[in-house]
Structure 1
Amino acid sequence: MLDAFARYLDLQRGLSAHTVRAYRSDLGDLLSFLGVGAGDDEPVGPALGTLDLPDLRAWLAAMSAAGAARTTLARRAAACRTFSNWAHRNKLLKSDVAARLRSPRADARLPSVLTPEQAAALLDAAADVVAEAGATAGDDADAYAARALARRDRAILEVLYATGMRVSELCSLDLGDVDASRRTMRVLGKGDKERTVPYGAPAAAALQDWQDAREVVAAPDAGTALFLGARGHRIGPRAVRDIVHRATARAGVPDLGPHGLRHSAATHVLSGGADLRSVQELLGHSSLATTQRYTHVSAERLRAVYAQAFPRA
């Protein structure tokens, strides 16, 4: 049943692999709560036959008491509703028991973001590392690889900040997704939704610098991946997170991950005067309500807009 549910999420709903894994894990946890273990020989039918809304609420309450975050509870409630609807349509449940299950209100606060000055310091520090690597003596293979990886790290930071894309989207980029002449990238987001995002001159220069050095670290079967790991194959999200954490420590700015750069980019674009719809398209949000979380612009920006728009200001 878990496999069938996962196939439904993947093939019919088009959810990301990460979401499919999370929902499948959530359902497995629910079954354990109901007393059905993953290795049990007994069928899950009897447990599902008695499943009702109080059971689901008790499951969420137990997790809340254990200290689960609101975002986790909200995701698990969403997984319950999705499963309940699917199971009812496939006659595994007599009714859609989770139709009235409400999600806990998610915490609307955003993680810490960099100031524009801190973002500039982060990217300048990455450029300094590239310059230092280029000045380092040594012409052996290890030295060439170190220089290439420094260029890769700088390009990754520039692209994450310039485009606000998710780390999974960055890792899935191919060489053909980059249109250098127009300074745009084709990005495949959640639900396999494709969008085109622009990037500026600094990111363009860093990208070209990395592409010129890419062959130094590329494995024979590297394929068309834009960004490569140290072993020459497509880079993974964990490696990108490590790169960002190391870069923030080196630059002396607040520690954050790739998603923190996404939050920073969205905040800075909005603070610069961009409209919500444009930022929604840039970030690939399906709902404008998600983008509205980034409207925590500075008091200075709010005063400037007020003074400009209000005649009696």
Structure 2
Amino acid sequence: MGTRKLATAMELKLIQMWLHGKSPDSRRSYMRDIQDFLEFTHKPIEQITIADIIDWDSALALRYAPTSRKRKLAAIKSLFSFAHKNELISTNPGAAVPSPKTKDAISERILTEDEWERMLYAEPNRQHQLMLTLLYETRARVSEFCALKWKDIREKPDGAALVTLFGKGNKTRKVTITPQLWQVLKATKAADAKGDSPLFLNYRHKAYSTVQVWRIVKAAGERVGIYGVSPHWIRHTGATHQLINGSPLHLQQQELGHSGLNTTSKYLHILPGDYGAQYTKVKLPF
């Protein structure tokens, strides 16, 4: 069948409009999904049928894990929904294609307080240890974390600090970190650092990439015998621990950047217990 490039001007314009406002990481991921789909169907977007999408979904089931398959199909369905809503295509072939059901594996990506403490204390690199702690307290997505600059943190009257995160859906939210973490973090600030300077610098004196942070987190987990740990694990873990220690659900919804309580409430079913930095109980290694 051969490969097919995004050929028509209509396709390019449609995809650009659909991707508008999404994060760089999301745009790259969605573009790969769309390219894969169009190469599979070998048809212009306006000629795609329900059967084409079902055939592609069947092919995905043979190549990808259920969660990846569900994400890729969701991207295609979203594109066609957008195109139909804006009257760029006459029908929406994705509307009748059901999304595959997947196992809710969030509980498998939560570290206990003991596991998290062992992972944190075993990290031999001081800066990496500090980065892990900030990921845990802010519950930031890795792209949000890598984008942090000194101007994004403001000290509060009680000695804690307010961190401004900008991320998914072009939304801004604020989270609080403990006074202890802020004092240690503030002490690392170089004398010549400006407001626009990255919070952490790698060995090349540049901001850490998302890939570098993933590697740091993965290595920290493996050091104590926990495999597959990612920055998102730490996001889930930080939220769950704060929930257990008494943080209100609505506060976690705001600080995690969830659009609704339904997403946040998943954490309620993981570990028993009744979320902001004042609910962090793990002793820091500083």
Q: Smaller-chain TM-score range?
A: 0.7 to 0.9
Say yes or no: does 1:59 pair with 2:68. Answer: no
| Partner of residue 124 from structure 1, selected from 121, 124, 149 | 121
Which residue number corresponds to residue 254 of structure 1? Answer: 226
| Partner of residue 185 from structure 2, selected from 198, 204, 207 | 207
Say yes or no: does 1:224 pair with 2:231. Answer: no
| Partner of residue 277 from structure 1, selected from 250, 258, 264 | 250
- The alignment partner of 1:211 has SS state of coil
Across the aligned residues of Structure 1 and Structure 2, the Cα RMSD in angstroms comes to 2.6
Which residue number corresponds to residue 309 of structure 1? Answer: none
**What is the CA–CA distance in structure 1 between the aligned matches of 2:75 and 2:180, rounded to whole Å?**
41
Say yes or no: does 1:244 pair with 2:244. Answer: no
Which residue number corresponds to residue 162 of structure 1? Answer: 137
**What is the CA–CA distance in structure 1 between the aligned matches of 2:268 and 2:241, rounded to whole Å?**
10
- The alignment partner of 2:263 has SS state of helix
Uncovered stretches (5+) of structure 2, i.e. residues with no partner: 1-9, 275-286
Which residue number corresponds to residue 67 of structure 2? Answer: 71
**What is the CA–CA distance in structure 2 between the aligned matches of 1:120 and 1:205, rounded to whole Å?**
20
The 1:119–1:205 alpha-carbon spacing in structure 2 relative to 1, beyond 3 Å, is farther
**What is the CA–CA distance in structure 2 between the aligned matches of 1:239 and 1:122, rounded to whole Å?**
18
Per-residue CA distance 1:5-43 (angstroms, 9 max, x = gap): 4421343xx22222222222212111111125xxxxxxx
Uncovered stretches (5+) of structure 1, i.e. residues with no partner: 37-43, 130-149, 303-313
- Offset at 1:249? 3.4
TM-score after normalising by structure 2: 0.81
**What is the CA–CA distance in structure 2 between the aligned matches of 1:200 and 1:96, rounded to whole Å?**
49
**What is the CA–CA distance in structure 2 between the aligned matches of 1:3 and 1:155, rounded to whole Å?**
43
Greater gyration radius: 1
- Offset at 1:121? 2.5
- Offset at 1:3? 3.6
Q: Relative to structure 2, which stretch is displaced further, 231-240 or 97-106?
A: 97-106
- Offset at 1:79? 1.6
- Offset at 1:275? 2.7
TM-score after normalising by structure 1: 0.74
| Partner of residue 195 from structure 1, selected from 173, 176, 183 | 173
Q: Is the 8 A contact 1:151 1:210 kept in 2?
A: no
Which residue number corresponds to residue 16 of structure 2? Answer: 7
The 1:63–1:276 alpha-carbon spacing in structure 2 relative to 1, beyond 3 Å, is same
Divergent runs of 4+, >6 A: none
The 1:205–1:27 alpha-carbon spacing in structure 2 relative to 1, beyond 3 Å, is same
Which residue number corresponds to residue 35 of structure 2? Answer: 28
**What is the CA–CA distance in structure 2 between the aligned matches of 1:175 and 1:230, rounded to whole Å?**
18
Say yes or no: does 1:173 pair with 2:148. Answer: yes
**What is the CA–CA distance in structure 2 between the aligned matches of 1:56 and 1:186, rounded to whole Å?**
40
Greater per-residue helix proportion: 1
User: How many matched pairs?
Assistant: 260
Q: Is the 8 A contact 2:249 2:264 kept in 1?
A: yes
The 1:282–1:253 alpha-carbon spacing in structure 2 relative to 1, beyond 3 Å, is farther
The 1:98–1:235 alpha-carbon spacing in structure 2 relative to 1, beyond 3 Å, is same
Q: Is the 8 A contact 1:87 1:93 kept in 2?
A: yes
**What is the CA–CA distance in structure 2 between the aligned matches of 1:223 and 1:177, rounded to whole Å?**
9
